[in-house]
Amino acid sequence: MWMSNMAAVIIMMLVMLVMVLASSLSKKSINDREKNSPFECGFDPKSSARLPFSLRFFLIAVIFLIFDVEIALLLPIIVIMKWSNLLSWSIVSMMFLLILLVGLFHEWNQGALEWAN
Cα 63 from Cα 69, distance rounded (Å): 10
Q: Looking at the domain assignment, is residue 42 inside a domain?
A: no
Residue-wise pLDDT for 10-68, tens only, equals 999 999 999 998 888 876 656 666 666 666 566 666 666 666 777 778 888 888 888 88
Apex 34 CA angle, 29 and 39, nearest 5: 125
- Please check whether residues 65 and 104 belong to one and the same domain: yes
Kind and range of the H or E run holding 35: helix 33-36
- For residue 114, name the pLDDT band (cuts at 50, 70, 90): confident
Q: How confident is the model at residue 6 (pLDDT cuts 50, 70, 90)?
A: very high
* Alpha carbons 98 and 117: distance in angstroms, whole number: 28
Q: What pLDDT is attached to residue 45? A: 60
What would you measure as the largest C-alpha separation in the chain, in angstroms? 69
What is the tally of structural domains in the chain?
Answer: 2
Domain presence at residue 81: yes
Residue at 9 is within a domain: yes
Query: Can you give the residue range of the structural domain that contains 10?
Result: 2-27
Q: Give the pTM.
A: 0.49
What pLDDT was estimated at residue 75?
87
